[in-house]
Amino acid sequence: MGAIQLSIEQYSSREPQKRDLHRIIRENYLSVFEEKESRGITFPFHIKREFERYLTCGILSHGFARFRCYHCKADKLVAYSCKRRTICPSCSGRRMSDTAKHLVERVIPVVPVRQWVLSMPYHHRYILSSNSLLLTASLGIYHRAVSSFYRMEAKKLGLKRPMTGAVTVIQRFGGALNLNVHFHSIFMDGVYYENEKGNLVFREIIPSSSDICKLVEKIKVRINRSFVRRGVGPKDDDYNQRDLLSALSTQNLLDGFKRPIKIGKYCDPPYEEFKGKRCAYDRGFSLHANVKILASHRSALERLCRYIARGALSQERIALGQSGRVILKLKNAYRDGTTHLEFTPEQFIKRVITLIPPARKNMIRYYGVFGARHNKRGEVTSRASSIKKKTNKKAIYRTPWADLLKHVFKYEVNYCDRCGTKLTLIAPITSPNICSKIINHLGLDATVVTPQLPRGPPIIEGFLGPDDQFDFNQELNW
């Protein structure tokens, strides 16, 4: 490996093991798993792997890449990431930035777009969280209803063969980390059609509030019909036959069917009907379409893409109180004044478990002209802002992490902070012995993070095991 220089680059690790979220999961997740398994509930392998990988993410003692600046002879150690998509805020942020950059630069053309958000009743959210086939069917119903609206309005204007396009992100979480399956979609606010010369031309179409009311009623009827056709109608009460964790999280309840402790509440607000411009509510179905991004506002579009692709957990919103309870800061305060929710660590871990999506299921779907099989996809997506002419370079499936840091934070991670020279990768280090030697030589924290084992049953004083011999007269202790 060569001699190790005493100097180290001014780059510092994020040290997730010192954050409250890491401590909560590290000290409590094994006890929650053991409690459930003692009751006969076995979690899938991908859920266990989500927790195990997160505990090693960003920690140098579990592996890193060693870089060297040959100009000033400084080393830079970059820890490996877990690449999970739920628990780890850092990897969720990387996925969010990568998705937003890809959509803006390679998918969505320079046209006005509108965000459509569909949420459904508790019963529907609960079933869709585990039934992937019904989730895909419901998403298809929702997309066809909105696309049909755009196409019908275009045909009224005399446009031939109108085409729509949308990108939908399936979100599984609510503001209180409750299980809330709902759809965030970015639709082109209009249609592409072919003019007399055969060229694709975009025509803007703006929906009204009355159109939203008609659409939410149509979506409600069709989704309910789809549920009934598959034998899971909205009146079926089958919570006892399914996972209790998901049922409680969907309704924002804890063990014992209790609500989380509210911090900051000062009143019980009166009931108000759901109102808003380009918003509609019909028996648990809510459709919102009042957020629009103009064609020239590409930076605002990227922020919107980051919003819909964001992760469930945020380091800044989770804190560990002095009493050992978890304090969750709400993104938006409730109408009754509640700003924070309080959980026990075990209740918090159970909430996080319900948010992990099924393994190998895509949470981002492309429809219309953005779909992979549409014959006009290449022509439409080539009108995105940053598309360049084709080159002989090999296509990159994922944007490198260094390029994302430069794009989002304007930070050159693969360049030396002292002299500006580009760093050279020496080797990826994965051996625990070599990792500890290098980290100790550089004076860094070499602590290996291990989860805390669950506490065993209490030991009764004077009790001996079944194999021990002792004289005991029960009559003397009556």
CB 37 within 8 A of CB 44: no
Q: Is the pLDDT of residue 473 over 50?
A: no
User: For the chain, what percent of residues have pLDDT higher than 90?
Assistant: 51
Same domain, 435 and 471: yes
326 inside domain: no
- Tokens (6 digits) for 323: 């009493």
Residue 235 has pLDDT above 50, yes or no: no
pLDDT (0 to 100) of residue 276: 83
Residue at which a domain ends, from 328, 359, 381: 381
Token code pair at residue 424: 């050279």
Mean pLDDT of all residues in 50-75: 87
Any domain includes 391: yes
Average pLDDT for residues 112-116, to the nearest whole number?
A: 97
Which among 59-63, 273-277, 376-380, 405-409 has the top mean pLDDT?
Answer: 376-380
Pair 352, 467 in one domain? no
- One domain for residues 136 and 280: yes
Q: How many structural domains is the chain composed of?
A: 2
Residue 184 pLDDT more than 80? yes
Q: Does residue 243 belong to any structural domain of this protein?
A: yes
Last residue of a domain, one of 381, 402, 428: 381
Q: Establish if 264 belongs to a structural domain.
A: no
The pLDDT of residue 8: 44
Q: How confident is the model at residue 386 (pLDDT cuts 50, 70, 90)?
A: low
Does residue 77 sit in the same domain as residue 125? no
The pair of structure tokens assigned to 410 is 């304007």
Same domain, 407 and 473: yes
Same domain? For 369 and 396 the reply is no
Q: What is the pLDDT of residues 8-59, one digit of tens each?
A: 444 566 788 889 999 999 999 999 998 888 888 788 899 999 999 999 998 8
- Asked whether residue 338 is assigned to any structural domain, the reply reads no
**335 lies in some domain:** no
What's the pLDDT at 477?
A: 39
Say if residue 23 is in the same domain as residue 127: no
Assess whether pLDDT exceeds 50 at residue 237.
no
The stretch 80-105 carries a mean pLDDT of 90
pLDDT at position 456, please?
63
In a domain, 47, yes or no: yes
Mean pLDDT of the chain: 84
pLDDT at 193: 94
Residue range 304-328: average pLDDT?
93
Please check whether residue 74 lies inside any domain of the structure: yes
pLDDT given for residue 469 in this prediction: 46
- Each residue's pLDDT tens digit, 318-342: 999 888 999 999 998 998 999 999 9
pLDDT tens digits, one per residue of 263-279:
998 888 887 777 789 99
For residues 31 and 170, membership in a common domain is answered with no
416 and 285 assigned to the same domain: no
Output the pLDDT for position 141.
Answer: 97
- What is the extent of the structural domain holding 313? 109-258+272-317+345-381
74 and 126 both lie in a single domain: no
pLDDT single digits (tens) 416-467 = 877 878 888 888 888 888 888 888 887 777 777 788 777 665 555 554 454 5
User: At which of 381, 406, 437 does a domain end?
Assistant: 381
For residue 326, report the phi and psi dihedrals to the nearest 5 degrees.
-90, 130
Residue 63 sits in the same domain as residue 137:
no
User: pLDDT value at position 285?
Assistant: 95
Residues, the chain: 478
Please check whether residues 369 and 421 belong to one and the same domain.
Answer: no
Q: Residue 137: its pLDDT value, please?
A: 95
